[in-house]
Structure 1
Amino acid sequence: MGKSKNKKGKGTRNNPTGLPSVKDFNLEQDEFGDGDTYSHSVANIVEKLQSLNEEEKICACSTISTLVRQPKAIRMLLQNNVVKVMGPLIVDSSQQVRKTALGALRNMTVDGSFDVCDKMIDADVLTPLFALLAEYEEEWSPSDKDERLDIIVQATHLLWNLCESNEITVKRFNQENVLPILLQCLQPQVYGYNLALVVAQCLQTVSEDNPEIMSALSKEATMTLLMDLIQRKHEDMQQMLLRVVAAGILYNASGGQLNRVSGSLVTAVVGTLAEALEVDAYRHIEEMAFRLKQNDASMNGTAEGGAMENGAGDGGKDEKKHTKNGLEKELNELECLLTAQRTALEIITNLCCTDDEEEVWEDLDSSDASSDEMLTADVDMEGSDETVLSHLCVQSEVHGAFVTNNLVPRVMCKTNFPSAEVHTILSGYGRGKKLLKSIEVLQSRSLLCVSNMVSGMDIEALGGMDKLHLIWENLSQLALNKQAVESADLLEAVTSAMRATIQKLAEHKSPKFSSVVPSDLQFVFELGQQSSHPPVKANAVRILSTIGCLLAKQMEPHSLLKNIGTFLVEIVSKDQELWVVAEALDAIFDVFAEDHLDPVVREIGLTDKLKAVAPQLKAKIHQQKRSLGDHLPIIMTARTNLMRFIKYKS
């Protein structure tokens, strides 16, 4: 038997910084809760931030960068005015202090909520931030010997995050004349791609619906600079992302009307977006998943093989580090790719919308009718939908560019799910979970894009009637996927695309509707009955309403109308969301308005059931009237039309 060796007791290790770690915070919280004792650690950090010693300030900022991953820690930091104390460090005489302070503040905007960003604005973080950026007003070039480049990268990240969440920041951006400072940084050959990319992302955010910045960006020199960016050949995904974001800035600068600037601009922007979507992200994701799995197996094999005992310890460590660095680089590339494709889809979605739709609503807003008349008007909701849809059309130049670049199938490819095996592998890693979230966002954006493209493009450009039916079938399969069912946002996006597709098929009177049977739509009935997400229910209602309206035109009542009527009246009777009830009522009025459908109305007891629900509906509206918001007009209209419908059918 081998001898046992007594273990030496380990003494308490001194903390050289004197500052609490995340573990210390959690221990204090477990022992003392969120009271005064817990805030002692934060007070210690504040003291170090105000120190004259450079190293202590750097350590305090670094500690905050780590602590902000804890939501309760952020709250304590804000309560102790840490932002107000740390803000001036942005313009500290030490470049290292500046960089760590900016990193800590940036992490607060990332890990905190919009409310955290608002409180940072209240603590006047913008004054030192804009003062720092003003130091870059004179033309400068990066140097290996100073950290000015890293500092402005961090500062622009912070500014971008604040602009995304707070309108006050955007207003200050306009006032502080920061745009010329940032525009000069859109030269990756001089300042590198890290700075050029974050500057472009910040400019894309601040230029959205911002006339002052849009006007400045539309100047010839700036447009030329942006065109140069999107026409660059990319060597990696970060460079491709920069091209896509530059295309987004051009879209914003044109006020969403690329064709009014020039036809060549439309061609360049849409071509760039199509090029980004051409990359098969799912193939790269699958390869990454299996590489992660293989790497785990390899590392486990090395450990079991006793590399340390064979004298290969240092080599094994170096190999492991090299492999980890390689995987990190590939993961960064994948995240850039997914961000580029998501951004491209958002721009394409916006390109499908025109000013015409806004003009329709402006015409309605300028109507001479009083608000009371609008609430009680007898409105044909189906007709109103068709009016808006007919105005939602893609500009001819953009439409042509979509067709030339074969965008519809490229967008549809992004709606797919990764395999169950890939999903399982990625779920086992922190970065893998982040990738899965990015994939879900990409799918949602692609489905919204499909919805707008189907609504706004002519049927020939979509591939014809058969292709549109194939799109419907693909969307139906997506709606049944477990991953979609478990995500309310994804399911809403799928059903929205289904709604647009069925509407387009109905507009062109697809002959396949006449042969539809209840089993074909069973999953739609179940979506409306089982989903707890109101927008999904509303989409299911409108899908069935569209099909019902087509079937109602047949003089011989279609058997499916009974199923549709029963489903709709059940929504009216049982659903708790008044605006969903209003959608279902409108659908009933649209589908069962004609006299030749009275036998179906009587068979399912539609009128009697509506009579029973009318008093309950009136009481609910009275109780919730102040909280109905934008839904109030459609709900009031549905209530008025309900009484007229009951009277007419009785």
Structure 2
Amino acid sequence: MGKSRTKRFKRPQFSPTGNCQAEAAAANGTEGEEEDGPAAELLEKLQHPSAEVRECACAGLARLVQQQPVLPGLARRDAVRKLGPLLLDPSLAVRETAAGALRNLSACGGFDVCDDMVTKDIMTPLVALLKECSAGLDSNDMSPQEKKDKNKDSIENIANEAVNVLWNICECSSRAVSIFNKEGCLEIVLNYLSRFSTNVDLAISVAYCLQTVTEDNPELLKSFSAAGLHVLESAMLSPVSSMEYVLLKTLVAGTIWNLKDLIPSKSQAEIINAVLKILSEVLEMDAGETVIQMKVAETQRLKTAAETEEIVENANGDAFIEDDAMEEMPHKRKARRKTFVSDLLPPTDKELRQITALLSAQQTALEIIVNMCCSEDPSDDEWEELSSSDESDVFMETSFSECDGQLLSPLCLSHEVHAALTNYLIPKKVIEKTSFPNNIAVDLCSKSPTWKPLIRKMNTLQCRALVCLQSLVSLLDVDHLGGAPALQTLAQHLSQLLFSQPDFTKHTDFLEAISSALRALLQTMASKNISQCMTPDQLMTLCKTGICNSNTGVRVNVVSILGITGSVLAKEDGTLETLKTIGCFLLEVATKDPSLVVAGEALDALFDVFADGKEAERASIHIKLLPALKEFQPIFKMKMRKEGRGKYSPEQLCVLDNVKMNLRRFITYQETVEKRLIS
């Protein structure tokens, strides 16, 4: 809950109406401009007596906040405190655009901006607005004219924008989640969710919000009534009439997983099966084929619409235009057709909405599965016990992070989850998603400006599948993964996936995800004495490329992969030269990498590779491992003293402390080896 959580998937920040990255500003020619001018003017207009002027100012700010350089200026000018009261403006249109501006601000600004919004008390008018909208939608005693004046559609639109603001802020701020709990927001958003059959967009926004606020929030769990659980159950079991409903069901399934502690133990297996059945059905859909089908459908629809428009114009021309005026028709027809087609572009493009919903549903399903595989964070006592344990090398292997150098707690699965994962063929379906995206689908999307953003979504889906695969390989028995032949086939698949892309080094997210999956797979294969499939050349290519990456997680992964492979080779004959190459590489990383986390992982890999085996002993003498480590030992200690407390988390320091202790032990062991070999 809140921004301190790092181990589980979190929704990436996004702008609902455009690219909120600084690159967007540069592309639009706005980078480097003085933004205080338009920001100051728009903020001043928020106080204008005319509702129309206030509405236009809010709309202008909604666009402006998507440019990263303007955010500090808006903060200086107290934009949040000026927009907040407009959430309760007498004009419904102003309320909606003010909520839209705050939605974009919270999405594009990230953790710091959201935390600042809570500090500036945005939650007070936001909660009041949510309550008013809920009451307005529940009013059944209005006259027909009053209902028209209230404008139910507008109220639902306002509620949708407000829920998105709430969702963004609660995802970034634990204080916002506490306010959500205390102010009874749960009942309000469940009321919105109950309208899923008539307003799926609002229901999806609520489902995203609920999935966020129910994670690790025992206080909120106490507030769930039987009626609230029934609303969730109804939404999860709703019939699928569109891809939006597929997304809704997936999100609700994630929320129900977060609420599993509320479920009586006798019903746990039933609920887990219901959740994983939905996730399995979502992952079974062929997103690549759906992209192709939807693009063809869109093309045909636009063509038919254009032909229909032309027929109507021809009919009108025959009835009302004289022959000598016919020469002007082509020009008029072209202008009208252009307007007609432009009206059909996103966000109203139904095919694009459908495929976007499916991709989001599949990404969410993969993230839920990964979260299922995460145990709770160890307590301080557990960390202390692990830190003093003699089994620190085992602890490091299971606990070092694959994600940007952060620590993960050891993975575990209950019997019910384990059984459901295998019964619904989740590993098979996840592996299939690692091959995504479909080349034909990518080609189609690349040719359409409105569909091109889907390529990034498809790439993200592939990365999520690879991370999910990593968790499953770490958790499931080899037999449940298909046995040794299946793991060897999977290793070949991942190697081909990696080396078939000549520019894989440019895609850090992909490189981190696939190196994480390879690391877990090779570790499992090594522990079961299953022969590995990567050639020495492939291995060194991956490692030399990965170690130059700026992402700490990538460097940690490739070093670990090298340690796993080296420890296997150390027990085989005729591997001296390869072990020398591996040892020299790991020594260089340990002594030169700027990150202590990576250096620690490299040292740990050296301990694994040169801990046993005749070839390893000979290689250690050749590369002068002992004097190199003796020279580096005081440097490593000094770096830990100088940099450790300020740059690294307590968990990382715990692991590094184990590395320091093991380094001392390993030097003693190497001294014994060297004396024996020399004598």
Normalized against structure 1, the TM-score is what? 0.83
Aligned pairs, number: 607
Specify which of 453, 457, 460 is matched with residue 434 of structure 1: 453
* Kept after mapping to 2: 8 A contact 1:254/1:261: no
Query: How far is the alpha carbon of 1:177 from its aligned partner?
Result: 1.0
Specify which of 458, 462, 466 is matched with residue 477 of structure 2: 458
Distance in 1, Cα, partners of 2:269 & 2:503? 41
Partner of 1:198: 205
Query: How far is the alpha carbon of 1:172 from its aligned partner?
Result: 0.9
- In the alignment, structure 1 residue 223 sits paired with structure 2 residue 229: yes
Percent identity, aligned pairs only, is 34
Specify which of 278, 281, 286 is matched with residue 275 of structure 1: 281
Distance in 1, Cα, partners of 2:279 & 2:233? 13
Most deviating of 314-323 and 107-116? 314-323
Q: Could you list the per-position Cα deviations for residues 163-218 of structure 1 after superposition, in whole angstroms to 9, with x for gaps in the alignment?
A: 1122221111111112112112222356521222211211111111111112323x
Distance in 2, Cα, partners of 1:576 & 1:259? 49
Partner of 1:87: 84
Distance in 2, Cα, partners of 1:266 & 1:505? 29
Structure 2 residues without counterparts, runs of 5 or longer: 1-24, 141-146, 310-326, 401-407, 672-679
Query: How far is the alpha carbon of 1:261 from its aligned partner?
Result: 4.2
Distance in 2, Cα, partners of 1:307 & 1:455? 71
Most deviating of 386-395 and 95-104? 386-395
* Kept after mapping to 1: 8 A contact 2:65/2:108: yes
Partner of 2:355: 334
Distance in 2, Cα, partners of 1:344 & 1:600? 47
**TM alignment of 1:123-522, pairs within 5 A:** 123-136=120-133, 138=135, 140=138, 146=151, 147-188=154-195, 191-217=198-224, 219-255=225-261, 261-286=267-292, 309=330, 312-313=333-334, 316-317=337-338, 320-321=341-342, 324=345, 328-354=349-375, 358=377, 364-365=382-383, 367=385, 374=387, 379-382=391-394, 385=397, 392-418=411-437, 423=442, 426-427=445-446, 431-480=450-499, 481-482=501-502, 484-510=504-530, 512-513=531-532, 518-519=536-537, 521-522=539-540
- In the alignment, structure 1 residue 60 sits paired with structure 2 residue 57: yes
- Whichever residue aligns with residue 247 of structure 2, its letter is L
**TM alignment of 1:13-32, pairs within 5 A:** none
Structure 1 residues 185, 492: CA separation in 2 closer, same or farther (over 3 Å shift)? same
Structure 1 residues without counterparts, runs of 5 or longer: 1-24
Query: How far is the alpha carbon of 1:102 from its aligned partner?
Result: 1.3
Indicate the SS of the match to 1:418. coil
Distance in 2, Cα, partners of 1:32 & 1:570? 41
Indicate the SS of the match to 1:532. coil
* Kept after mapping to 1: 8 A contact 2:133/2:156: no
- Whichever residue aligns with residue 580 of structure 1, its letter is V
- Whichever residue aligns with residue 485 of structure 1, its letter is T
Partner of 1:119: 116
* Kept after mapping to 2: 8 A contact 1:214/1:252: no
Query: How far is the alpha carbon of 1:40 from its aligned partner?
Result: 4.9
Most deviating of 78-87 and 239-248? 78-87
Distance in 2, Cα, partners of 1:62 & 1:326? 17
Partner of 1:19: none
Distance in 2, Cα, partners of 1:293 & 1:527? 42
Partner of 2:568: 550
Structure 1 residues 574, 326: CA separation in 2 closer, same or farther (over 3 Å shift)? closer
* Kept after mapping to 2: 8 A contact 1:230/1:268: no
Query: How far is the alpha carbon of 1:343 from its aligned partner?
Result: 0.9
Indicate the SS of the match to 2:90. coil
- Whichever residue aligns with residue 608 of structure 1, its letter is P
Specify which of 580, 587, 594 is matched with residue 605 of structure 2: 587
Structure 1 residues 526, 88: CA separation in 2 closer, same or farther (over 3 Å shift)? same
Query: How far is the alpha carbon of 1:108 from its aligned partner?
Result: 1.7
* Kept after mapping to 1: 8 A contact 2:92/2:155: yes
Distance in 2, Cα, partners of 1:335 & 1:519? 40
* Kept after mapping to 2: 8 A contact 1:414/1:446: yes
* Kept after mapping to 1: 8 A contact 2:196/2:235: no
Distance in 1, Cα, partners of 2:547 & 2:383? 35
Structure 1 residues 387, 331: CA separation in 2 closer, same or farther (over 3 Å shift)? closer
Indicate the SS of the match to 2:98. helix
Partner of 1:13: none
Partner of 2:658: 637
Partner of 1:540: 558
Most deviating of 283-292 and 577-586? 283-292
